[in-house]
């Protein structure tokens, strides 16, 4: 008996040694997993402000509601209470409470005031956790620029995504002991790691200019029953974006209810054939190369045959003798091709590249589309007969605004940007690349040419009383999207691109209206919107009128004053 007892004790001792020494770490880990509850303490997401300090996106207190289903005795009654306080259907909450789980989310990031009445009911099995939620005080203002955050607090689009690492901060951790039901044990062992809040951002966006741009754009799209539209307002000298607007838009506070197509920041994501606005670059290239002056006269036949294709004007005319200024002012396709032939394919491409139209602008916003500008080695026999007037290439409105800014600011290609300041890291200097692309003499001459477009030519509707305006109309036919080469019948993008005051530009504005009805011409559809936005910018920025400047009455140019190629697109 003694021997058997000693043997049994030895076996027990051996088993204890095996459990405590050999398998001890594994059992300890299992115990920690069962006992320890690790909760994430969310960091306060940084706020986003406009250039004058107006809040565009802020973080407010919220509550997350969760349940331990097995603790809920009367599930139908609890579902009714949840639906009454939080909204939604009783059936949805009842399904959650019926799950075989120790933990289930009921609702996340709920405004505190909506949860208060529910907390007072003290429902068994229903618990609350402090949380935060993202709020956009001005609803749809700059919605595509700001973007939105997901339920877990990560930036999903716009600035929220671009600068998520700065805004999000670092979440903290709370490790505590939990009981059998999964609820923290009062007085249990805890360990806490404090969160690091995210940084605040100050954007270049001006809330007042942004509001005006969105309002005018929405009215213009509605007026012409268009498919969509976009506006860019940019500081001509620095590239700071004062407004970036797209229609249709959405409310980022309720992004889950919006059409995903409205999330697109069209001035950055949507390419289009710019049409006659490219004539400004073609003319600038001819002047820079010494091939022509603004007063150089060209004999222009009614049509011009290039590589088997006949180039027409939109409206029949006879042979004329027009200067380079007349070519741009009257938006002549034949004249633009004449200038392109003087330049040749290599030089034509070189200047498109110089003015940033063959590269992304590198704006600090996700999703910028790359331009489509073929290299001369890929040109066909007819390319020199359409690229000089903006057909056969595609750019975004922002890339076009950047090119126009170079003409306005003395020949410098700026980098469009939205981040103005990091107030929590003032020592960090923000720098945006700038490069010289044209001589001051060339762009000075081109400003005079583009001023004539507004005072005498197709862009009269862009005039702003008391200010000189320079710009170019565009009415480009849209390429087909069904895999067949050519252009879609009756589908156009009307645009106006320009800057003011013309001799010392404060802002560059590009307005594009996609598939307008009733009229297709940039001078009729887009130019008046440019005028209204430009007038507001001058007043808001405190730029006084220049006495003696053309008064302008904002009257749109007559339909048909812009010219068009023979096979799709308009001048």
Instruction: Specify whether 292 is located in the same domain as 350.
Output: yes
**Residue 25 located in a structural domain:** no
Asked if the model's pLDDT at residue 126 lies above 70, the reply is yes
Range of the domain at 187: 39-71+103-203
Higher-confidence position of 113 and 221: 221
- Residue 371: pLDDT over 70: yes
The residue ranking higher by pLDDT, 173 or 275, is 275
Looking at the fold, whether 65 and 131 belong to one and the same domain comes out as: yes
Q: Please provide the size of the chain in residues.
A: 571
Tell me, yes or no, whether 240 and 328 share the same domain.
Answer: yes
Burial, 287: exposed, middle or buried (Cβ in 10 Å; 0-12, 13-18, 19+)? buried
Domain check: are 190 and 221 in the same one? no
* Inside any domain, residue 564: no
CA pair distance 374, 359, nearest whole angstrom: 11
On the question of pLDDT at 459 being above 50, the answer is: yes
Confidence of residue 108 (pLDDT cuts 50, 70, 90): confident
Residue 16 CB neighbour total at 10 angstroms: 10
> 426 vs 461, which has greater pLDDT?
461
Distance of CA 538 to the CA centre of its chain: 24
Residues 262, 416 contacting (CB under 8 angstroms): no
Q: Which of 276, 331, 495, 519 is catalytic?
A: 276
- Same domain (yes/no): 176, 242: no
SS3 567: coil
**Is a pLDDT exceeding 80 seen at residue 564?**
no
Confirm whether 15 is domain-assigned.
Answer: no
Q: Is residue 279 part of a domain?
A: yes
Asked if residue 29 is part of any domain, the answer here is no
Helix or strand run (H / E) with residue 512: strand 507-514
Identify whether residues 212 and 184 lie together within a single domain. no
With a cut of 80, say whether residue 246 has pLDDT above it. yes
235 and 176, same domain (yes or no): no
- Asked if residue 76 is part of any domain, the answer here is no
pLDDT at res. 366: 96
**What average pLDDT does the chain have?**
89
Confirm whether 276 is a catalytic residue. yes
In a domain, 113, yes or no: yes
More confident residue, 90 or 211: 211
pLDDT the model gives residue 69: 85
Q: Specify the CATH number for the domain of residue 45.
A: 3.90.1310.10
What percent of the chain has pLDDT above 90? 62
Residues 98-110: what's their mean pLDDT? 83
- Angle, CA of 137, 138 and 140, to the nearest 5°: 125
Q: How does pLDDT run across 163-192, given as a tens digit for each residue?
A: 999 999 888 887 777 666 556 666 665 677
**Domain ends where: 168, 203, 238?**
203
pLDDT confidence bin for 161, thresholds 50/70/90: very high
Report residue 213's pLDDT band, with 50, 70 and 90 as the boundaries.
very high
Let me know whether 110 and 235 are in one domain: no
Q: Is residue 506 part of a domain?
A: yes
> Structural domain tally of the chain?
2
One domain for residues 187 and 285? no
For residues 384, 386, 388, 391, the Cα torsion angle rounded to the nearest 10 degrees is -140
- The C-alpha R_g of the chain, in whole angstroms, comes to 32
Query: Could you write out the DSSP letters of every residue in 144-197?
Result: HHH--B-TTS-B-SHHHHHTHHHHH-B-EEEEEEB-TTSPBPTT--EEEE--BP
Q: Please report the pLDDT score of residue 185 as a whole number.
A: 63
Contacts of 322 (CB under 8 A, 6+ apart): 297, 298, 300, 330, 332, 335
Query: 158 and 236: one domain?
Result: no
Q: CA 371, CA 270: separation in Å to the nearest integer?
A: 10
CATH number assigned to the domain comprising residue 384: 3.40.710.10
Confidence of residue 86 (pLDDT cuts 50, 70, 90): confident
pLDDT attached to residue 353:
96
pLDDT at 228: 96
Q: Are residues 186 and 241 in the same domain?
A: no
Q: Please indicate, yes or no, whether residues 184 and 231 belong to a single structural domain of this protein.
A: no
Distance (Å, whole) CA 371 – CA 268? 10
pLDDT band at 33 (very low <50, low <70, confident <90, very high): low
């Amino acid at each position: 008996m003694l021997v058997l007892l000693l043997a049994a004790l030895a076996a027990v001792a051996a088993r204890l040694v095996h459990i405590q020494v050999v398998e001890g770490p594994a059992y300890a880990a299992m115990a920690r997993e069962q006992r320890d509850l690790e909760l994430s303490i969310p960091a306060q997401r940084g706020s986003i402000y406009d250039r004058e300090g107006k809040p565009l996106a802020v973080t407010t207190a919220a509550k997350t509601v969760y349940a331990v289903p097995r603790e809920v005795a009367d599930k139908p009654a609890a579902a009714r209470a949840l639906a009454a306080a939080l909204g939604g259907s009783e059936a949805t909450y009842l399904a959650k409470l019926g799950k075989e789980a120790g933990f289930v989310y009921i609702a996340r990031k709920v405004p505190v005031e909506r949860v208060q009445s529910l907390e007072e009911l003290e429902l068994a099995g229903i618990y609350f956790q402090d949380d935060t939620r993202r709020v956009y005080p001005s609803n749809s203002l700059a919605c595509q620029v700001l973007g939105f955050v997901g339920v877990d607090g990560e930036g999903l689009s716009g600035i929220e995504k671009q600068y998520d690492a700065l805004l999000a901060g670092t979440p903290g951790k709370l490790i505590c002991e939990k009981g059998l039901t999964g609820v923290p044990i009062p007085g249990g062992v805890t360990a806490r790691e404090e969160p690091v809040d995210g940084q605040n951002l100050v954007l270049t966006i001006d809330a007042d200019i942004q509001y005006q741009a969105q309002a005018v754009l929405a009215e213009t799209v509605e007026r012409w029953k268009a498919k969509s539209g976009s506006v860019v307002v940019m500081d001509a000298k620095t590239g700071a974006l004062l407004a970036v607007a797209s229609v249709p838009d959405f409310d980022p506070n309720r992004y889950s209810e919006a059409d995903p197509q409205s999330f697109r920041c069209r001035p950055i994501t949507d390419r289009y054939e710019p049409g006659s606005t490219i004539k400004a670059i073609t003319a600038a290239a001819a002047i820079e190369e010494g091939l022509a002056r603004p007063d150089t006269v060209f004999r222009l036949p009614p049509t011009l045959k290039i590589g088997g294709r006949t180039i027409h004007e939109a409206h029949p005319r006879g042979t004329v003798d027009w200067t380079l200024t007349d070519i741009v002012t009257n938006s002549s396709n034949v004249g633009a091709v004449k200038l392109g032939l003087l330049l040749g394919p290599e030089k034509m491409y070189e200047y498109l590249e110089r003015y940033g139209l063959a590269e992304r602008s590198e704006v600090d916003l996700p999703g910028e589309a790359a331009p489509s500008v073929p290299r001369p080695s890929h040109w066909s026999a007819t390319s020199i007969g359409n690229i000089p007037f903006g057909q056969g290439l595609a750019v975004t409105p922002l890339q076009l605004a950047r090119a126009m800014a170079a003409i306005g600011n003395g020949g410098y290609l700026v980098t469009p940007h939205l981040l103005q300041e990091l107030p929590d890291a003032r020592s960090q200097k923000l720098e945006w690349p700038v490069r010289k692309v044209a001589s001051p003499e060339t762009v000075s001459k081109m400003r005079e040419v583009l001023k004539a477009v507004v005072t005498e030519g197709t862009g009269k509707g862009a005039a702003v009383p008391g200010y000189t305006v320079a710009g170019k109309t565009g009415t480009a036919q849209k390429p087909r999207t069904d895999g067949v080469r050519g252009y879609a019948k009756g589908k156009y993008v009307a645009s106006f691109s320009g800057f003011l005051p013309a001799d010392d530009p404060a802002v560059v504005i590009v307005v594009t209206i996609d598939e307008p009805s009733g009229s297709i011409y940039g001078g009729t559809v887009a130019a008046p919107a440019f005028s209204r936005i430009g007038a507001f910018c001058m007043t808001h920025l405190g730029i006084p009128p220049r006495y003696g400047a053309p008064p302008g009455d904002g009257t749109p140019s007559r339909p048909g004053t812009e010219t068009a190629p023979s096979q799709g697109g308009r001048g």
